[in-house]
Chain A
Amino acid sequence: MDTFVQQLINGLTIGSIYALIALGYTMVYGILRLINFAHGDVYMVGAYAGFMLATYLGFAANPSIFGFIVVLFGSMAIAALIGMAIERFAYRPVRKFSRMTTLITAIGMSLFIEYLFVFIFSGTPRSFPSLLPNDNFTLFGNATISTSQLLIFVISILLMIGLQWIIFKTKIGKAMRAVSFNLNSAKLMGVNTDFIIAFTFALGSALAAAGGVLTAQYNPKIEPLMGIITGLKAFVAAVLGGIGNIPGAVLGGLLIGAAETLVVGYGSYIGIPSTYRDAVAFAILILVLLIRPAGLLGSNVQEKV
């Protein structure tokens, strides 16, 4: 029993990270119907921004809660700016062309960011410093949870609540919902759509960066290509939950995370080797798309944000 709980904790930890990244995919898709392939790389950029901040502001040497907060919000701000820059210089100029054009631009952007970082930092994995002392808490029996895992849960839940609040309680959130409902009508109603789109990118990128920093506390190896697989799985999570649907992205992320951990933990009992963990995420996606093409929580008249 405690083994199962332990595996569930492990799975939900990764799942929370997928959920944070999936939110960015789903928001951008909701507004622009664009799959922003560079989003996984923004997650990587966030981790690197945190790494630079921690190293150059000296928080790596003496860990403190203050340092952690500065690094977390600092890297979120940097990633938000980068997200806006990506939108402004790569996607806005091609927005008026066909969707395929933007999609290919997104792939190009992704490769550009990855290899720019390989060029700057080299592909060598870096070790992200621990910003908080790491402890283990025993829940019951053998099931333990570490500080870094706890941080991932607490901060991702807070960020998701914050996101809900922005979207449903603020004026800018209302504008986002309007743009997602119909971009041209929103424009006619006087909504500054360019600004709203840029804001959406900033929001999504900040969440991805938070995911990057939190992951790096848990698994301190960062490297320029770390966003590829994680980004793909987060994308799968977004589609699984119903792309464009915010609670769906969270649900999808947690499901994918739990599924792949349980495959490693228990898959061998039903004949699935533990190395199929990645395959399982994609297999689930195919199944869901066959049965419910709009995703678990998606519907055709959804409120896309």
Chain B
Amino acid sequence: MTRIFLAIGLITSILFSFACVQKGGEGGGATNTGDGGDTIKVGVYGDMTGQTASFGQSTKNGIQLAVDEINAAGGVNGKKIVLVVEDDQGQPQQATTVVQKLINQDKVQAILGEVASTNSLAAAPVAQSAKIPMITPSSTNPKVTEVGDYISRVCFIDPFQGSAMAKFAANTLKAKTAAILGDVNSDYSKGLTQFFEEEFTRLGGRVVTKEAYTQNDPDFKAQLTKIRNLNPDVIYVPGYYSQVGIVARQARELGMNQPLMGGDGWDSPELFKLGGAALKNAYISNHYSADNPAPEIQNFVKAYKAKFNVVPDSLAALAYDAAKVLADAIKRAGGAGDSAKLKDAINATKEFAGVTGKITLDASRNAVKPAVVLELNPAESKFTFKETIYPEGMSAPTATSTDANSNSMMNMNSMNTNSMNSNSMMNGNMNSSTSMNGNPNSSMSMNSNSVNR
């Protein structure tokens, strides 16, 4: 009897753990008001309450700011944009469900979301088959837009992000060996692992080990101890902030003081609370730097800060851009009524001046943009700009392109940084710059300035 009971208990417990992953409330307050002809309904879905809730909140805020600005200026073609926000709790199954709800119940005309590639991948087929355009602000895994022509994004993709970090490790940090510690359940993490390894190996480095964790792991010391044994020059941790903070802390506890590197998944104010001082000597690739003095970036930072009282992270900036790109496309398509026309307009986006740089969608509906490398500064809980890495085929803009709309971070790099900085722009907080423009070993032109901002 006891055995039968235990067996039932075990089976139940297993089912139960699945149930925990699958269920979830229909959270997220819908803010739709009218469905008449004078509004355009846009669905937003993201992780508002789950493991990566800071992503969803930033994204929602960025979109909200953009939509408020658009509506205050009279809307698009005289129609106001109305947002319907849904919470997927960071779970792929839930992402599918809420996007189905947005399309079938709320009848949205376009969708903005998700941040995590795994969740975007879960929801994208729904949008594609319903022929509702979906722009993901910040999912960087290449597979996301491969789902179909209704899916596009305004950020760069992981092959670029991963290889940018490999270049930074090999060229700037002069690393010969690297260890990778990734999240085995995340498409984002797996993609970055692959592309980092390819590029790092190509540049003559060696990846000594690839370790993996899951989001539920109680600690990471087992993996880290293994890495410590191999003593790599750098450790690449392409995960999300809620795990990375603990990874950093436990690595330092084990006496590992190598540089830690990651991607845009680290970008959250929460990271510094979790990781604390352990995040010293850590670098990430990201989409923009809030310190960039370009007026369009500073205006955005100011407006965002006034509304939400925090400095916008790159997810907020990308979300803002995604909403603006969508509005621009609706304008060019002459309305959002015809989804095929709207999709074509989105995919034809060219040289759109966004906060995160000029957005041009390529044939695979990916934005081609430079990445910035940021250094973590745990003492002040902020990211400081380190260098800009350009994709292949895109060189640093020349000093003559002083167009106010162009990303002036590029301009800055190509100018003489020292003379530029002394113009009180940085308030004196700078080191002498060691520029390594046009590294001959690298097929992409790479600009570097080590000005700490």
Q: Which residues of A contact B (CB under 8 A)?
A: 3, 6-7, 10-11, 13-14, 17, 33, 35, 37, 99-100, 103, 107, 110-111, 114-115, 118, 122-125, 127, 130, 134, 136, 142, 144, 146, 215, 218-221, 223, 225, 228-230, 232, 235, 239, 243, 260-262, 264-265, 273-275, 277-278, 285, 289, 293-294
Contacts and interface: CB of A to CB of B under 8 A. Distances in A.
B163 interface: no
B225 A110 contact: no
A218 B229 CA distance: 22
26 contacts: A3-B226, A3-B229, A33-B2, A33-B5, A35-B9, A107-B12, A110-B16, A111-B19, A118-B49, A122-B49, A123-B50, A123-B53, A124-B53, A219-B246, A229-B216, A235-B13, A260-B222, A262-B222, A264-B226, A265-B226, A273-B212, A274-B211, A274-B223, A275-B213, A277-B222, A289-B6
A6 B246 contact: no
Interface string B238-272: 00001101100110011100000000000000100
Which secondary structure dominates chain A's binding surface? helix
Contacts of A273: 212
B423 interface: no
Interface residues of B, number: 52
Contacts of A6: 221, 225, 228, 254
Contacts of A293: 3
B420 interface: no
B366 interface: no
A13 B3 CA distance: 30
A99 B12 CA distance: 14
B202 interface: no
Interface of B: 2-3, 5-6, 8-10, 12-13, 16-17, 19-20, 23, 25, 48-51, 53-54, 89-90, 184, 211-214, 216-219, 221-223, 225-226, 228-229, 242-243, 245-246, 249-250, 253-255, 270, 273-274, 276
Given A103-B9, A274-B211, A275-B184, 14 more contacts: A3-B226, A33-B5, A110-B16, A115-B25, A122-B49, A123-B51, A127-B245, A127-B273, A127-B274, A136-B255, A221-B274, A239-B6, A274-B226, A285-B10
A265 B53 contact: no
Q: Kindly list the 10 A-B residue pairs having the minimum CB-CB distance in the complex, ordered from nearest.
A: A264-B222, A127-B273, A124-B53, A123-B49, A10-B221, A261-B222, A122-B49, A229-B216, A123-B50, A125-B242
Given A3-B229, A37-B13, A274 B212 contact: yes
Contacts of B249: 220
Contact of A123 (B5, B89, B184, B212): B89
A220 B249 CA distance: 10
B13 A14 contact: no
Given A110-B16, A221-B242, A275-B184, A99 B222 contact: no
Contacts of B219: 10, 13-14, 218-219
A224 to B, nearest CB: 9
A127 B17 CA distance: 24
Contacts of A274: 211-212, 222-223, 226
Contacts of A264: 211, 222-223, 226
Given A118-B49, A144-B253, A221-B245, A265 B212 contact: no
Nearest to B51: A125
A110 B48 CA distance: 22
B26 to A, nearest CB: 12
Contacts of B51: 123-125, 223
Nearest to B48: A122
Nearest to A118: B49
Q: Which among A118, A136, A225, A275 has the greatest number of chain B C-beta atoms within 10 A?
A: A275
Contacts of B250: 219
Contacts of B221: 6, 10, 13, 261
Contacts of B242: 125, 221, 223
Given A124-B54, A273-B212, A142 B270 contact: no
Contacts of B54: 124
B49 A124 contact: yes
Nearest to A220: B274
B277 to A, nearest CB: 10
Contacts of A115: 25
A260 B223 CA distance: 11
A89 B36 CA distance: 50
A142 B245 CA distance: 23
Contacts of B245: 127, 221
Contacts of A221: 242-243, 245-246, 274
A244 B286 CA distance: 53
A125 B250 CA distance: 17
B386 to A, nearest CB: 25
B217 A277 contact: yes
B397 to A, nearest CB: 39
A17 B453 CA distance: 43
A170 to B, nearest CB: 28
A265 B225 CA distance: 8
Q: Which among B16, B17, B212, B219 has the greatest number of chain A C-beta atoms within 10 A?
A: B219
Contacts of B5: 33, 99
A103 B16 CA distance: 12
Given A115-B25, A123-B53, A14 B218 contact: yes
A136 B180 CA distance: 24
A173 to B, nearest CB: 24
Contacts of B270: 124-125, 127
